Structure 1
Amino acid sequence: MFTQLNPPIPLTVKDRGEGYAIGVIDYGQEHNLIWVTIITETGEIWCAPNPSVRGVVNWTMNRPRPAMESPH
């Protein structure tokens, strides 16, 4: 299933940089979500699996810059 995000969600993609997710692809319970993201610096569009995506820093929500280490 593809879900278009409106409004887009700001996030960071590991090894690519900050950008805005414009959609999410969900292949089902045996797979990671795939975030369709436009990278701000380059304009590239990447489909990144959930473990490679983090929310951006948000002082209003008291969220620090997220770590990008692999959980495994």
Structure 2
Amino acid sequence: MQESGAVEADVAYIRQLPTLAMRKAELKRLGRVHGDGYAWDVRRALDGSAEDERLAPLEFERHADPRAAALSAIAHAR
């Protein structure tokens, strides 16, 4: 059990826990101690394949409309 409040430190701690049940329990505890938003940040940091990391980088200089650039990137990711 650790109380850090630093996402990177908590991710490193959770990764070294030996069982999935212990990891889930620690994520739940982090949510109670630091809030659901913080626990969500830790989950995203643990998940190396987060949705936004798979998206192609936006090329705003090539698009006059940033919304169109974002929609185009999402369409290419699927």
- TM-score, normalised by the number of residues in structure 1: 0.25
Which structure: greater strand fraction? 1
- TM-score, normalised by the number of residues in structure 2: 0.24
Which structure: greater helix fraction? 2
